[in-house]
Amino acid sequence: MNKRLLIALVFIPLIVVLAAGCSRHKTREIDITAGEYYEDEEYQKLSKKDRDLYCFDLSAELESLQARSDTAQKQLDQNKEDIQMLTRELRDSEREYSRLRNQVDEFTLQLQELASLPKEWKLEYGECLWIVAGYEQIYGDPLKWTRLWRGNYEMIEDPDWVLAGWMLQVPRTWPRKHKVMQDEWLAKIAGYWEVYDNYRQWPVLYEANRDRIDDPDLIFTEQELVVPREFPASD
């Protein structure tokens, strides 16, 4: 074999090995913030400078993740408190809704009962306002006979004298107006059960009718007064 050829066959592989060993390793670019990391084999091939930089970036990312984790934990704790508070409010609202629902049901029954009650009454022989007011389907209380009288004032001049066959109106609503009758004054009117059922509420009548009442101690027969319903009468 040619001596030069032999030398070439021996040194060429050695040159290739040396060239490969002396070539610089190119680091793969990664983005730690995107969750990209070096494999162990890749890490081992890094230079000391690149390793230090990689470790610094890892530490910074860890701190960032920890800060985000702390913030998320605080938000989670706050959300738990908010959920607990909203849960309590929801339960309170459900109880309040149930209470109001029961009230609505009660009022509905009362309205149905009220609608079924007579709005007129034909006097029979032997009946008087006292007796009629005492009927359960009227007022269930004979002491409320004056309500019948005031509701039929134009027909009944003397409440002690009524005739069989008369058709009486049976007032069922709280009045918003009141026509002053003889021998009435504000406190007396306020004391009527269909007005406020409380004579001490007379200032309410006075304030609502100051445009027609100069002196609260002086009102006149046939004078029409406004009755504010912000102060409902008790039954």
At residue 3, does pLDDT exceed 80?
no
> Rounded to whole angstroms, what are the CA distances from 155 to 71, 113, 161?
82, 28, 11
Euclidean distance between CA atoms 181 and 197, whole angstroms: 17
Q: Note the pLDDT tens digit of each residue in 47-72.
A: 888 888 888 888 888 888 889 899 99
- Give residue 226's pLDDT: 95
Q: How confident is the model at residue 35 (pLDDT cuts 50, 70, 90)?
A: confident
Interatomic CA distance for residues 24 and 18, integer angstroms: 12
What fold, for 119-172?
Membrane-bound Lytic Murein Transglycosylase D; Chain A (3.10.350)
Position 134 pLDDT exceeds 90: yes
User: So what's the pLDDT on residue 231?
Assistant: 53
Q: Smallest Cα–Cα separation from 113: which of 121, 105, 122? A: 105
- Model's pTM, two decimal places? 0.50
Domain boundaries, the chain: 119-172, 176-235
Cβ neighbours for 42, distance < 8 A, ≥ 6 positions apart: 27, 28
Residue 7 has pLDDT above 70, yes or no: no
The CA distance from 88 to 92, in Å, is 6
Q: Please report the pLDDT score of residue 201 as a whole number.
A: 94
Residues 176-186 have pLDDT tens digits of: 999 998 899 99
Eight-state DSSP code of residue 71: H
Radius of gyration of the chain (CA): 49
Residue type, 85: M
What pLDDT band is residue 4 in, cutting at 50, 70 and 90?
A: low
Residue type for position 65: L
- Residue 146: name the closest of 197, 111, 186 by CA: 197
The CATH number assigned to the domain with range 176-235 reads 3.10.350.10
Higher-pLDDT residue of 3, 157 = 157
Whole-angstrom distance, CA of residue 57 vs CA of residue 70: 20
Q: Residue 2's pLDDT is what?
A: 52
| Residue scoring higher pLDDT (1 or 102) | 102
Q: Which residues contact 173 (CB under 8 A, 6 or more apart)?
A: none
pLDDT at 96 over 60: yes
Res 43: pLDDT: 83
Residue 234 predicted with pLDDT over 70: no
Choose the weakest-confidence range: 4-8, 26-30, 65-69. 4-8
**What's the pLDDT band for 26 if we cut at 50, 70, 90?**
low
Residues 164 and 153: their CA atoms lie apart, in Å, by 17
Residue 205 CA neighbour count, 13 Å, CB half: 34
Kindly report the average pLDDT of the chain as a whole number.
84
**Alpha helix segments (H runs only) across the chain:** 3-22, 40-44, 48-116, 129-134, 145-151, 186-191, 202-208
The pLDDT of residue 195 is: 93
72, HSE (Cβ side, Cα atoms, 13 Å): 6
